Each structure stands twice: as C-alpha cells, then as structure tokens.
Amino acid sequence: MLGKMLQVKGSRERGYVLPIEEAEIRREIMTYGPVVASMQAYGDLDYYTGGIYKHTAGRPRGAHAVKIIGWGTENGTDYWIVANTWNTNWGEDNGFFRILRGINHCNIEDFVVAGHIKV
C-alpha cells in the first residue's frame, strides 16, 4: 500500500488513494479485494454488450464510479474486470464489463480508492 491514507474522524475505517500504477492496483485487488475507480464515461459505453471495451465514439458524459474486481488477458490484450452500477441487464455478464488495462483507458487508472475496516 503506497497510496495517500485517508482517515474518517471517529471511525475505525480507513481508505486510501492508490498510485496511478497498474501493478499497485493489481496488488491491492489480489491482497484485499475490489477497489473503486472513477472513469470517464462516453456515449458508446451505453451500447456495450461484450468484449473488451475500447472507447471509439461518442461524447464525454462525465465521470462514472465503478468497481474493479480483477484482471485478465485475452489474445494478448490486457483488461480489467469491472462491475458497473447501471443494472444487471447491461454489459456482458450481469452488469460487468472488461476494459483495456495498463494504458489508463478512459482514465480508469487515474483515481482508484481502496479501503479497509479495522477490526
């Protein structure tokens, strides 16, 4: 964990912003589980139905919060596995999608937050 620590006063919870490094994001997911990310959503994301998402058309629609739950590689293309919040009928598998990994596609690696609860 190399990110900036955030503490909520009076809380036993802590969170932190991860560095903009793919390896750190993967390490966090592997060690502690899913992370939350902000990404730039474009119009073509509305029509995504499967495959590795690569923005090709549409205007920016603003920032969108998603949960990165894992990663993989298909035919030499690295991707993140992401849970969207729109609904379970959207995407390739009950609201999930894959997006290019390691190139900060749609700024998905710009602002990634993780959190732990002290027990």
Q: Structural domains in the chain? A: 4-117 (3.90.70.10)
Catalytic residue among 55, 75, 84, 105: 84
Q: Cβ contacts of residue 5 below 8 Å, gap of 6+?
A: 14, 15, 16
Q: Quick check: is 87 catalytic?
A: no
**What pLDDT is attached to residue 7?**
52
Rounded to two decimals, the pTM is 0.85
**What pLDDT is attached to residue 10?**
56
Averaged over 49-63, what is the pLDDT?
95
**What pLDDT is attached to residue 12?**
52
Sign of the alpha-carbon torsion through 64, 68, 69, 73: positive
Q: Quick check: is 105 catalytic?
A: no
